[in-house]
């Protein structure tokens, strides 16, 4: 199983355990990251980018803490790659979105 599939399964389990659903439609929350992944597939991307897309709301919207997220990432990829994915996941929820975009572009 590749990192994209493992990230998808981890994110799905975390959001289901938290009982997360989308506002207004009440669909399972995992629909949102799935849509984000599909958008990224339309542009040049890496598997690491797709994994980050699956995981981008897990720490903010579930009981999974950042340390657990990093342990998961380190179990599926090397430490350097885990750190890069972790940066993308955690930066996606920065209070300064413009600065976040600038930082992600330079990664």
How much is the pLDDT for 69? 87
Non-local (6+) Cβ contacts of 103 within 8 A are: 87, 91, 94
Q: How confident is the model at residue 99 (pLDDT cuts 50, 70, 90)?
A: very low
**Cβ-proximal residues to 81 (8 Å cutoff; 6+ apart), any chain:** 48, 73
Residues 87, 77: Cα–Cα separation, whole Å = 14
The span from the CA of 11 to the CA of 87, in Å, is 17
Q: Which has more confidence, 12 or 85?
A: 12
In the structure, what pLDDT confidence band is assigned to residue 93 with cuts at 50, 70 and 90? low
Dump pLDDT digits (tens) for 23-67.
899 999 999 999 999 999 999 999 999 999 999 899 888 999 888
Q: What is the pLDDT of residue 106?
A: 47
What's the pLDDT score for residue 59? 86
């Amino acid at each position: 199983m590749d990192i994209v599939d493992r990230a998808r399964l981890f994110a799905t389990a975390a959001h289901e355990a938290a009982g997360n659903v989308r506002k207004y439609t009440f669909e399972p929350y995992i629909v949102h990251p799935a849509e984000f992944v599909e958008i990224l597939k339309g542009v040049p991307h890496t598997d690491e980018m797709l994994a980050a897309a699956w995981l981008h709301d897990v720490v903010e919207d579930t009981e999974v803490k950042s340390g657990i997220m990093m342990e998961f990432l380190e179990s599926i990829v090397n430490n350097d790659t885990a750190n890069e994915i972790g940066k993308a996941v955690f930066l996606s929820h920065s209070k300064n979105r413009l600065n976040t975009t600038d930082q992600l572009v330079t990664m």
